[in-house]
Amino acid sequence: MSYRDRLEAAIAARGRLCVGIDPSASLLEAWGLNDDVDGLRSFSRRVVDELGGEAAVFKPQVSFFERFGSAGFAVLEETIAALRSAGALVLADAKRGDIGSTMAGYAEAWFGEGSPLEVDALTVSPYLGFESLRPALDMARERGKGLYVLGLTSNPEGASVQHVGGDASVAKSIIDAAAAESLTGGHVGLVIGATTAAAAAELGIDLSAVKGSFLTPGLGAQGATVADIKRSFGQDYSKVLAPSSRDILKHGDRPGGMLERYKEVSAELAE
Per-residue pLDDT tens for 221-254?
677 899 989 988 999 999 999 999 999 999 999 9
CB 103 within 8 A of CB 72: no
Count the helix, strand and coil residues of the chain and give each as a percent rounded to the nearest 5.
Answer: 55, 15, 30
Q: Which tens digit of pLDDT belongs to each residue from 90-146?
A: 999 999 999 999 999 999 999 999 999 999 999 999 999 999 999 999 999 999 999
CB 153 within 8 A of CB 191: yes
What does the pLDDT read at residue 169?
92
CB 219 within 8 A of CB 247: yes
What does the pLDDT read at residue 20?
97
Mean pLDDT computed over 67-92 = 98
What does the pLDDT read at residue 199?
83
* Residue 59 falls in the annotated catalytic set: no
Which residue ranges make up each domain of the chain?
Answer: 3-270
Task: Give the CA angle between residues 155, 122, 213 to the nearest 5°.
Answer: 75
Catalytic residue among 59, 95, 172, 250: 95
- Cα(215)–Cα(232) distance, integer angstroms: 13
Q: Which of 87, 197, 90, 192 is nearest to 149 (CA)?
A: 192
For the chain, what is the mean pLDDT? Answer: 94
Q: Which pLDDT band, with edges at 50, 70 and 90, does 5 fall under?
A: very high
**Residue 58 CA, distance from chain mean position:** 8
pTM reported for the whole predicted model: 0.96
Domain 3-270 fold: TIM Barrel (3.20.20)
